Amino acid sequence: MENWLKVCILVVIAASTTGNEEVSPAKLLFSKQILNKYLVEGMDIVIKYSLFNVGGTAALDVQLADNTFGPLDFDVVGGQLKVSLDRIPPGGNATHVVVLRPSRFGYFNFTAAEVSYLPSEDATEAQIGLSSEPGQGAIVPFKEYDRKFSPHLLDWISFAVMSMPSLALPFALWFSSKSKYELIMKQKKDLKQG
């Protein structure tokens, strides 16, 4: 009976220790963001990829690939659309930036990039994940952008001109009251003397 109890206790202890040691495998959250406000034909677009390991072990042999930017639609001017990272520790982040130039205008559906990684030291099969999707965006023709935004400079100049009265008016008031005051003082003086 006593022996049996000992066995039971040992089993419980063993179970609880393996329970503690068991850590969740690496899990990567993957986001893809466009950092530009305007998408313009022939002008740089910055894409940021962020990976965040929310698992309990390091993600190994991380391969990031974005196959959504065809060479007919985009030129890569900075960074690479395929990168590999040895590991991302648990709780760790990795970011990657690519600069592209759209070679044509029109609507473009920005879809997900892919990531593959080994979720643990002894994993044999890679885990595949997809990034968030920025969604559809309008790439405006350069000419239109140029037409829309160069006049903005004129808008700013006319704004400055229009706001001038609001600065000029207080000055004019101050100046006229000052001269009125001086005139009164002068008249008083004249009266005393006269």
Shortest Å, Cβ 133 to ligand NAG: 6
Q: Does 136 bind ligand NAG (CB under 6 A)?
A: yes
Alpha-carbon separation of residue 62 from 58, 104, 112, 129 (angstroms): 10, 32, 16, 11
One of 24, 93, 158, 163 touching ligand NAG (CB under 6 A): 93
Q: Which is nearer to ligand NAG, 95 or 177 (CB)?
A: 95
One of 33, 111, 116, 132 touching ligand NAG (CB under 6 A): 111
Q: Which stretch binds ligand NAG (CB under 6 A): 57-65, 86-94, 98-106, 156-164?
A: 86-94
Sequence-distant (6+) residues with CB within 8 A of 79 are 96, 97, 98, 99
DSSP structure string for 98-123: EEEEESS-EEEEE---EEEEESSTT-
Compute and round to an integer the Cα radius of gyration of the chain.
34
Q: Which stretch binds ligand NAG (CB under 6 A): 5-13, 59-67, 91-99, 121-129?
A: 91-99
What is the contact surface with ligand NAG in residues (CB under 6 A)? 52, 91-93, 109, 111, 136
